[in-house]
Structure 1
Amino acid sequence: MNCILICMLCGLYGVLAKDKEQRGKYRVPKLDVKSRQLVLDANQPLQLSCRGRWEITWVFPSGLARDQVQVEESRCGRTKQLYCSNMMVSRSQAQHTGLFRCQYKHRTQKQTSVYVYVTDSQQLFVEHPGMSPGVLYLKENQPLVIPCRATNPNVTATLVKFLSLSLSPDQRNIIWDSKQGFIIRSPTFYYIGLFYCQTITDGVTHKSRNYFVHRPVSNIMEVRLNSSGPVQALKGERLVLNCTATGELNTRVNITWDYPGKSNNIGSISKRLVKHPTHMLFYSILTIPKLQRSDRGRYTCRVASGEKSKHQTVTVTVYDRPFIRLKPRHGLVMEVQAGQKSYQISPKLKAFPAPEVIWLKDGVVAAEQCSRYHIDGNSLVIRDVAEEDAGKYTVLVRIKEHGLYQNLTLTLAVNVSPQIGEKAASLQDPGSVPRGSRRTLHCTSHGVPPPHIQWLWHRCPPKGLPAAPRA
């Protein structure tokens, strides 16, 4: 009995150990080729097999169309627990040169690959010269790769700049790799322009596709909206916001809008580009044909170029109808001191659309009555306040196109410091008067409000002593 149990445990251990070994073996799928690259002649068939623990998928070079490949899938292994996939290209072509990858369908990071060269004496570069120029971007602090890959691992090429000299690889800054092309580790402005690769075999010059190297500029100098402050509009009116971005020459920007009705596709956007000798102007115009209350809120224009971005925001308020709201700020009666440098009469006014404002003083247009009166926004400013500025001031507010009118009358009191008239006049000393006689003294005073007059009598002091006042 013990012997049977021991045999069973040994068998189970063997199965578990074998299963663990299989799991480790197929952590990534396995190709049926040992080397990391293959070299085929043009028109030869290419066949690759891959197996693994899970379902398998293939990634092919860009020059190989999917309909040019036959793929057969099956379950394999002793217990049929593995997945196998065989792919076949019946007639390989030079443009099929590249990396063939076998990977797990749902674990794409688990993969294995082989690089396949398809040699053709008539086509030494994968991308032939008849193709339209490829556009490459020169980026700061990044290597530049000119992808003129070769169809033969033994090809050595030179890099040619159009209408300029050819550059040979130095394996320091200019590196040739038949699988990638030319790698420029530290590219300068010299590498902006039109390039191609070439090689000479048996006296015959072979050229690659042309590549245009462009240096993208992402300097956004300024972003502005056609409205610098909050926007107010009536329900049903048309809203037009113009966002203008200024960038350096060769800059390309992407302009987007964020606004309340964006999710409902409310509004239309038109774009325009204007090139100037020193800069570029990009326009994006957002139009909402009929505003609703739901269109109230923040409207943001976002401008992005490469890793740089800027934005401008404006708040839009939508009113149901035109209105005027007018009331005093500090009561109906105001006080000011004569001689004050300036005084501003400023009621609380809120209206839309912008109203016409007229100020009257005692029924006459204020600005026509005195040059010291002038309008500042909705307020009346009085310069060098004088006593004659006291009176009734009426502000007339009207929105003619909507038939709205409102007025408010305020009273201004001007306080004047009291003054004694006789003090200003040059009077002679009355001198001595006979004892027992009558003498009349006058005191004339003016002020606002009217001043109170009080007389004080100063007894003549004995010789050598000051006099004490008496009422």
Structure 2
Amino acid sequence: MLSCVTVAMLCLLFGCLMLTGYSSGSKVATVLNVKAKELVVQAGQPIHLSCSGDQTLSWKFPAASRKESNRFHVMENVCHGGANALCQTNLTLHKALISDTGFYRCQYKHLPLSKKSSAVYVYVTEPNSAFADVQKEQPHVITITDGQKLVIPCRVTSPNITVTLKQLYGVVLSKPGSKSVVWDSKRGFIIRKPNYMFFDLLRCEAVVNGVIHTSTFLTHRQSSEIHSVKLSVPSSIKVLRGETLSINCTATTDLNSRAEIQWTYPGLKYGELAQIRKWISLTNSEAVVHSMMTIPKKHTVYQGMYICTAKNGPTTKSDSTTVRVHAKAFLNVKPLKKGVLEAVVGQKSFHIAIKVRAFRPPEVICYSLIIKNVVEEDAGDYTVVLRLKQWNLTKNLTMTLKVNVKPHIYEKSTSIQEPDPRTLGSRQTLTCTVYGVPPPTITWTWHPCPRNYSGSRCDFQPDNAVPIIGGKYNSSTDNKVYSIIERMHTIEGRNKTVGNLIIDDATTSGVYSCITSNKIGTERRDIRFFVSDVANGFHITLDKVPKEGENMTLTCSVNKYLYTNISWILRRRVGNRTINHSISKQRSAKTSEYSTILTATVQNASRADSGVYECRATNTYSGDIISQSKEIIITGEHSERKTHFSRTSKQRRKHYATESRGAH
């Protein structure tokens, strides 16, 4: 409950406010003592205006008049009444001049200009003047801005004066009733969309009392284009607390225009004003406006968006950066990929990448980034050292690179590739020495040749091969596997895997495959395993050395998968020449389970049948011609019979390393 004293004080205060004419708003517009919108006054005569309203009033009138305070007088506000107060003010301007022409406005002091104000336009006229603004020696310069109206301010001293707008050389630009060039005696000529015809020296021309009066203007076309606005820093920057922040903003325009630059930044709302330094640099074709914003280290730099805005007429462009403020320097580093890095031998390039989060940017002490043409020796530890000297921060990061190697079988490049015959019933050891990273696995597969007496081909189809399990028959036609052994050996400084497949009893021909693989790739070695029932896969025999008149039979047995084109020839000396006689060919041969057999029979042998009997065959894989021969000399019944045996010979011999046979 309010006390009587409190109520009395409030009433007193409210009454004082009413008496001074102040309130938070007004219900009525100001009222001038002149009802007309225009007033014509002769030069030298006074101007008397009175205004009333329901609160404190103020006047606005031409600037030229306000400069001569001895010629004008404003009576202070006088307010009467209580709740319905009436305030009144008077304006008196002595000895009016033509420069006093303009709007005289009465408004409420505490309200915006446009609200509930009243005005009258006063023309101050004299017989020898037409224009309210006195013409100077130099033309008045008017800037034309793209997209904006052009106003030629040739205001007149009387609303009845007719004015014409012309170019320098007399071309008339204004026409009565034109909508593009509009005449307004209070403002001048208004050109809505100025074109090239107005980019010139223009003049306003009027005739008063037979005398021509002119007012000259020079228009200057200003481009509103902004080519670019750029900050001197990236879109996001970091600063340390207590450091000076400086950002330069440049706005590039045409030579005939200048952009205005304004800054918006978080410190404004806290009253922290930055230091702004501006300057302009010119090139042959452009103007560059610079604005350097600096917040000294003794002031607080606030986090947030720092925006530079350039304005040129109706055109506005901006650029911004986000500032983050850190209390202290930091340095963090981690690999882009976790775990062990992996490359492959032969890779053209390998990129070792790290992710660094630091402030300030660190000094890199040692850093290997790209490895080209990767080799196995590139494997190892790579260390990057980063250092912030000023803050004594150092970080080390070690990354391990593993270089993977596709599996390789060394016997493929060191062993003979043409197959050797395997003695029937023998124990055989097949070997694969492999290397790769990671260490590869070894798998053995088996593909038997067709078991028939007529066939002499063993076509190999890898897809039909079956895996081998040690100590087990894969089928009734397989060779029994004695064991499969794998051992690690250090060979040529590398840990290699040696795989042995031991065949217990060689009875079936076919192809064994050694397959080695890791995650990088696979390699295979096919070992043709041809079982032979004749020594070394090639053998000739003679049933007996005949006497003259007896029959003689020679037999040539070769492994049917290794040799073809088998034939018997007889070489005899006739004088100084050796003559070869073909006595049996392939078409006469017979095929058994393991061999091709060609027999040559000499009926009723005579001395003329003496000579060297040679069996020839072509190695199916190397193309070499292999031969064995016997020299047989046939004499009379009681003469001594001689037979000379020759070793196996090869023509066009190719040189290979041989693979060991027998158990190992």
Q: Give TM class, smaller chain.
A: 0.7 to 0.9
- The residue identity in structure 2 corresponding to 1:158 is T
Q: Which residue of 125, 132, 144 maps to 1:126?
A: 132
**Deviation sequence 1:270-289 (CA, Å, 0-9, x none):** 11111222221111122334
**Deviation sequence 1:378-403 (CA, Å, 0-9, x none):** xx222343322222222233345555
Matches within 5 A, 1:76-87: 86-87=90-91
Gap runs ≥5 in structure 1: 1-25, 361-374
Q: Using the alignment, how far apart are the partners of 1:50 and 1:400 within structure 2?
A: 76
Q: Alpha carbons of 1:270 and 1:416: their partners in 2 closer, same or farther (altered >3 Å)? A: same
Q: Which residue of 284, 301, 321 maps to 1:277?
A: 284
Q: Which residue of 2 aligns with 1:381?
A: 370
Q: Which residue of 1 aligns with 2:403?
A: 414
**Deviation sequence 1:356-411 (CA, Å, 0-9, x none):** 33557xxxxxxxxxxxxxx4xxxx22234332222222223334555544433333
Q: Which residue of 172, 180, 183 maps to 2:187?
A: 180
> Which TM-score applies when normalising by structure 1?
0.74
**Deviation sequence 1:32-77 (CA, Å, 0-9, x none):** 5565544332222333455667666544344433653445576899
The answer (yes or no) to whether the contact 2:130–2:208 under 8 Å persists in 1 is no
The answer (yes or no) to whether the contact 1:226–1:241 under 8 Å persists in 2 is yes
Q: Which residue of 2 aligns with 1:444?
A: 433
Q: RMSD in angstroms over aligned alpha carbons?
A: 3.9
Q: Using the alignment, how far apart are the partners of 1:27 and 1:289 within structure 2?
A: 52
Q: Using the alignment, how far apart are the partners of 2:313 and 2:50 within structure 1?
A: 42
Q: Using the alignment, how far apart are the partners of 2:291 and 2:108 within structure 1?
A: 46
Q: Using the alignment, how far apart are the partners of 1:123 and 1:383 within structure 2?
A: 90
Residue 170 of structure 1 aligns to a residue in which SS?
Answer: coil
Q: Which residue of 174, 196, 199 maps to 1:189?
A: 196
Segment of structure 1 superposing worse, 129-138 or 211-220: 129-138
Q: Using the alignment, how far apart are the partners of 1:335 and 1:271 within structure 2?
A: 56
Gap runs ≥5 in structure 2: 1-26, 459-463, 469-473, 475-480, 482-664
- The residue identity in structure 1 corresponding to 2:175 is D
Higher normalized contact order (CA 8 Å, seq sep 6+, divided by chain length): 1
| Identical aligned residues as a percent | 40
Q: Which residue of 1 aligns with 2:176?
A: 171
Which protein has the bigger strand share? 2
Q: Which residue of 1 aligns with 2:43?
A: 42
Aligned pair count reads 423
- The residue identity in structure 1 corresponding to 2:384 is V
Please tell me whether residue 241 in structure 1 is matched to residue 229 in structure 2. Answer: no
The CA deviation at 1:355 is 2.9
- The residue identity in structure 1 corresponding to 2:195 is T
Q: Using the alignment, how far apart are the partners of 1:147 and 1:113 within structure 2?
A: 20
Q: Using the alignment, how far apart are the partners of 2:154 and 2:437 within structure 1?
A: 97
The answer (yes or no) to whether the contact 1:138–1:213 under 8 Å persists in 2 is yes
Segment of structure 1 superposing worse, 242-251 or 321-330: 321-330
Q: Alpha carbons of 1:313 and 1:42: their partners in 2 closer, same or farther (altered >3 Å)? A: closer
Q: Using the alignment, how far apart are the partners of 1:83 and 1:292 within structure 2?
A: 50
Q: Which residue of 2 aligns with 1:220?
A: 226
The answer (yes or no) to whether the contact 1:32–1:49 under 8 Å persists in 2 is yes
Q: Using the alignment, how far apart are the partners of 2:465 and 2:98 within structure 1?
A: 128
Residue 64 of structure 1 aligns to a residue in which SS?
Answer: helix
Matches within 5 A, 1:61-100: 61-65=62-66, 68-71=71-74, 86-100=90-104
Q: Using the alignment, how far apart are the partners of 2:101 and 2:451 within structure 1?
A: 132
Q: Using the alignment, how far apart are the partners of 2:449 and 2:281 within structure 1?
A: 96
- The residue identity in structure 2 corresponding to 1:165 is G
Q: Using the alignment, how far apart are the partners of 2:382 and 2:189 within structure 1?
A: 84
The answer (yes or no) to whether the contact 1:460–1:467 under 8 Å persists in 2 is no
Name which one, 1 or 2, has greater alpha-carbon Rg: 2
Q: Alpha carbons of 1:203 and 1:427: their partners in 2 closer, same or farther (altered >3 Å)? A: same
The CA deviation at 1:219 is 0.9
Q: Using the alignment, how far apart are the partners of 1:75 and 1:348 within structure 2?
A: 77
Matches within 5 A, 1:90-169: 90-102=94-106, 109-130=115-136, 134-140=140-146, 143-161=149-167, 163-165=168-170, 167=172, 169=174
Q: Using the alignment, how far apart are the partners of 2:445 and 2:149 within structure 1?
A: 101
Q: Using the alignment, how far apart are the partners of 2:299 and 2:105 within structure 1?
A: 56
Q: Using the alignment, how far apart are the partners of 2:159 and 2:465 within structure 1?
A: 126
Residue 125 of structure 1 aligns to a residue in which SS?
Answer: coil
Q: Alpha carbons of 1:28 and 1:419: their partners in 2 closer, same or farther (altered >3 Å)? A: closer
Q: Using the alignment, how far apart are the partners of 1:422 and 1:96 within structure 2?
A: 114
The CA deviation at 1:256 is 2.0
The answer (yes or no) to whether the contact 1:418–1:446 under 8 Å persists in 2 is yes
Residue 65 of structure 2 aligns to a residue in which SS?
Answer: coil
Segment of structure 1 superposing worse, 416-425 or 45-54: 45-54
The CA deviation at 1:310 is 1.7
Q: Alpha carbons of 1:276 and 1:32: their partners in 2 closer, same or farther (altered >3 Å)? A: same
Residue 388 of structure 1 aligns to a residue in which SS?
Answer: helix
Residue 443 of structure 1 aligns to a residue in which SS?
Answer: strand
Segment of structure 1 superposing worse, 317-326 or 408-417: 317-326
Matches within 5 A, 1:358-437: 358-359=365-366, 375=368, 380-400=369-389, 403-424=392-413, 425-433=415-423, 435-437=424-426
Q: Using the alignment, how far apart are the partners of 2:387 and 2:176 within structure 1?
A: 81
The answer (yes or no) to whether the contact 1:235–1:292 under 8 Å persists in 2 is no
The answer (yes or no) to whether the contact 2:151–2:190 under 8 Å persists in 1 is yes
Q: Alpha carbons of 1:462 and 1:160: their partners in 2 closer, same or farther (altered >3 Å)? A: closer
Q: Using the alignment, how far apart are the partners of 2:87 and 2:250 within structure 1?
A: 58
The answer (yes or no) to whether the contact 1:156–1:176 under 8 Å persists in 2 is no
Q: Using the alignment, how far apart are the partners of 2:54 and 2:122 within structure 1?
A: 25
- The residue identity in structure 1 corresponding to 2:420 is P
Q: Using the alignment, how far apart are the partners of 2:104 and 2:139 within structure 1?
A: 25
The answer (yes or no) to whether the contact 2:349–2:373 under 8 Å persists in 1 is yes
The answer (yes or no) to whether the contact 2:242–2:300 under 8 Å persists in 1 is no
Segment of structure 1 superposing worse, 448-457 or 282-291: 448-457
Q: Using the alignment, how far apart are the partners of 1:300 and 1:348 within structure 2?
A: 30
Q: Using the alignment, how far apart are the partners of 2:50 and 2:465 within structure 1?
A: 131
Residue 95 of structure 1 aligns to a residue in which SS?
Answer: helix
> Which TM-score applies when normalising by structure 2?
0.55
Q: Alpha carbons of 1:322 and 1:144: their partners in 2 closer, same or farther (altered >3 Å)? A: closer
The answer (yes or no) to whether the contact 1:234–1:291 under 8 Å persists in 2 is no
Q: Alpha carbons of 1:406 and 1:213: their partners in 2 closer, same or farther (altered >3 Å)? A: same
The answer (yes or no) to whether the contact 1:246–1:279 under 8 Å persists in 2 is yes
The answer (yes or no) to whether the contact 1:387–1:414 under 8 Å persists in 2 is yes
Q: Alpha carbons of 1:202 and 1:306: their partners in 2 closer, same or farther (altered >3 Å)? A: closer
Residue 99 of structure 2 aligns to a residue in which SS?
Answer: helix
Segment of structure 1 superposing worse, 303-312 or 210-219: 210-219
Q: Which residue of 2 aligns with 1:5?
A: none
Q: Alpha carbons of 1:198 and 1:391: their partners in 2 closer, same or farther (altered >3 Å)? A: same
Q: Alpha carbons of 1:118 and 1:236: their partners in 2 closer, same or farther (altered >3 Å)? A: closer
Q: Using the alignment, how far apart are the partners of 2:450 and 2:45 within structure 1?
A: 141
Please tell me whether residue 298 in structure 1 is matched to residue 310 in structure 2. Answer: no
